[in-house]
Amino acid sequence: MKIVCIGGGPAGLYFALLMKKQDPRHDITVVERNKPYDTFGWGVVFSDQTLGNLQAADPQTAGEILGAFNHWDDIEVNIRGERIRSGGHGFCGIGRKRLLNILQKRCEELGVKLVFEQDVQGEEQYPDADLIIASDGLNSRIRTKYQATYQPDIDVRQCRFVWLGTHKLFEAFTFAFEETEHGWFQAHAYQFDGDTSTFIVETPQDVWEKAGIDRMEKEESIAFCERLFAKYLDGHKLMSNAAHLRGSAQWIRFPRVVCKTWVHHNGRQPVVLMGDAAHTAHFSIGSGTKLALEDAIELARCIGKAGGDLNRALSDYEAVRSVEVLKIQNAARNSTEWFENVARYVNLPAPQFAYSLLTRSQRISHENLRLRDKGYVEGYEDWIARACGIQRAPAQSPVPPMFTPFRLRGTELKNRVVVSPMAQYLCQDGQPADYHLVHLGARAMGGAGMVVAEMTCTSPDARITPGCPGLWNEQQQAGWKRIVDFVHGFSDAKIAMQLGHAGPKGSTRVPWEGEDQPLEAGNWPLLSASPEQYIDGVSDWSRAMTRADMDRVRDDFVRAARLAAGAGFDWLELHCAHGYLLSSFISPLTNQRTDDYGGPLENRLRYPLEVFRAMRAVWPEHLPMSVRISAHDWVEGGITPDDAVEIARAFKAAGCDLIDCSSGQVSKKQKPVYGRMYQTPFADRIRNEAGIATMAVGAITDADQVNSIIAAGRADLCAIARPHLANPAWTLLEAAKLGYGDVKWPVQYLSGKAQLERNLEREKAMAAQAAGLSPLEQANQAQGV
């Protein structure tokens, strides 16, 4: 087969040598526009796992690369004069030029033709090639030429960065954060050979402009960075090797590239994207070169496996790599956004700031960190525990973050796990009875810090369905008090009441008879901010609330709040999410009013805030109140995370203690981006920008995730829904999985605790033995690291 690789970066060179090694009869040419052994850039980074992949693909090349690597285990974070280190991360640095030299030499040894100083305009220069590899980099001409096929999505990110070098040798991968009068700058530094380190300086675009770097000559901006990070450089200079760039041009914004397809057939041969031409991943997770080399490995593998069927090989390559690359790009996006918003986190205590940085991509979890550096994690757990008033005795195990207490006003939760309010639709005339006693009572005994009753309606016409619970009379109050008394009498959990009004989503059937479908009979009139039909052509129309309606509904909420206090609830939550009545005022998708309650966000919040303040006035001062919001409508023109921060600030000013951060369900046109912990970023942003406690919800499924969220300061509480439907004792089970025994069980169930812990330990040992993997390898595999 005749193969031409356009672009002599890591992707093209590595693919060429792998294919030549696979079959020496292949006629392979790599065409590069630069001079032989010439390149720009400083060092690149690989993880130990990537090195393993290279070793498996070509041991000789891997051996030469390994011989040139500088290896380190530690990551060091410097902020506000404090230095935090953690180990076990297993990274290697190598000069980009040295890496290319090794790959070029190996290609020459195997018989690959290397052509330099040839600037290829298009693949038509090689009409007799059987396969064209477009490895022509970030600004790929081939990708641009066939963009109708590849459908590239290029997102230029918010920060400016400059890639510099220094002869200061950093022992660890070092992050340094420095504040100026204009804003924050950060440096990413690591040694990559015997006498040189990479030193990347990064800052948001607006800070870069305020600092005047856009008007500086190159030497001036380098001198600025030297002064700013002088205490880390120990007198060493910063160096640029981008002699071809002038002024501020060396400061660039990172372009994230995603292509829908990677293969184009031009009528003569397939043209295949590889490396940066197909995708990019932000330098903060050090994966660009890794992805390029692994592209090459996978395509070579697919061609070898396909037995001469090139189309099948290319289809397999795209199918496999597109998924793997997406995983890395999702992690890179999380990491990119963290660094773009460093100002959001700099007021965290330094230990928590460092932990947040280490776990920013969501690929490194709490338990994964423990396997890397147990001493660091246990020390950090002790720091969190001390901040919560817990001093661990020498013989005791460290307290996992999820099992630290949390206090708001006069209510203290024993841990950070909350049983989400989950609609059950099993009431008659709004009356809670035996079912709710068992449902909520069992989960309270299952170890959670708090259980939350499902959305409870403030009047008969506030219900979603006829099966929804209510709190508008004393009989219902008595039913709830029975449940509250059980929770308080048989557990140390707290119990919260969530009050809401269905608004335009009311008068529907219970889900198992037709979710969101109107009742066949017995419907009641619907209210909302503006007339709407939740499901076009299906739902009943609601009418816009008058001022008289607002007064009545507000008073219904106040009455329900008083009844909840009388029933003995520890916590009260107001439901302002998911397209229900108060949500219909907040979202511009559903609020089309032209009076004082419509238009800008300030006006749209006016009525929900009025209801909240009226409830807060009658709810006991020593007990907390929270608000559930939809932090993202997932629809163009709807509520955005930017809006959510402002919504949280408004409720905080009105006396709210915590924001319960959900999203969506406002419009059937929504297009959520699902994934594990997919709503946690809303809680993170609101907590750290609006300065109010938050509860994270949505696809949080295990203790490791809860510990990671709490430890990083991304939320104060985690609400767990579906796992609690499957297992009322989810919290107790997760404690046993962690090996944390210092958790209180109901005395009647203690004999089950010891057996559960023994069985779990036996299962762990058997699984590890069968897999033949070290604990760290197992954890990395589970996290996709």
Measured CA to CA in angstroms, residue 445 lies from 257, 449, 487, 716, 747 at distances of 49, 10, 8, 22, 11
Torsional sign, CA 167, 169, 175, 177:
negative
The Cα 327–Cα 345 span in angstroms is 25
State the helix-helix crossing angle for 730-738 and 703-711, rounded to 10 degrees.
80
> Per the structure block, which two tokens stand in for 676?
């594990």
Which of 667, 674, 603 minimizes the C-alpha distance to 639?
Answer: 667
Contacts of 217 (CB under 8 A, 6+ apart): 246, 247
Kindly write down the DSSP assignment for every residue of 229-271, as one continuous string.
THHHHTTPPEE---TT--GGGGSEEEEEEEES--EEE-SSSEE
β partners of residue 133: 5, 272
Q: Is 580 a catalytic residue?
A: yes
CB–CB of 449/493 below 8 Å? yes
φ/ψ of 301, rounded to 5, equals: -65, -45
Separation CA 523–CA 505 (nearest Å): 12
List b or e across 21-49, with b for residues whose CB sees 16 or more CB atoms inside 10 angstroms.
beeeebebbbbbbeeeeebebbbbbbbee
Q: How many angstroms separate the CA atoms of 656 and 648, rounded? A: 9
DSSP labels for 24-86?
Answer: TT-EEEEE-SS-TT-----EEEEEHHHHHHHHHH-HHHHHHHHHH-EEE--EEEEETTEEEEE
* β-strands 27-31, 113-115 pairing: parallel
Contact 730, 447 (CB under 8 A): yes
All residues at 6 or more sequence positions from 419 whose CB lies less than 8 Å from its CB, including other chains: 440, 443, 444, 446, 448, 450, 451, 452, 719, 720, 721, 724
Q: How many CB atoms lie within 10 A of CB 59?
A: 11
What's CA 75's distance to the chain center, in Å? 21
With beta carbons less than 8 A apart as the criterion, state whether 267 and 255 touch: no
Question: Among positive and negative, which fits the CA dihedral 593, 599, 603, 609?
Answer: positive
Query: What secondary structure does DSSP assign to 687-704, as a single string?
Result: IIII--EEEE-SS--SHH
For residue 631, the 8-state DSSP code is: S
User: Of 232, 380, 580, 597, which one is the catalytic site residue?
Assistant: 580
70, β-bridge pairs: 93
The closest alpha carbon to 359, from 704, 740, 735, belongs to 704
3-state secondary structure of 3: strand
DSSP letter string, 473-532: SHHHHHHHHHHHHHHHHH-S-EEEEEEE--GGG-SB--GGGTTTPBPSS-----EESS--
> What is the CA angle 194-198-203, rounded to 5?
165
In a 10 Å sphere around its CB, with 0-12 CB exposed, 13-18 middle and 19+ buried, how is residue 461 labelled? middle
Measured CA to CA, the distance from residue 564 to residue 740 in angstroms comes to 35
User: Are 262 and 270 spatial neighbours (Cβ–Cβ below 8 Å)?
Assistant: no
Q: Write out the catalytic residue numbers.
A: 580
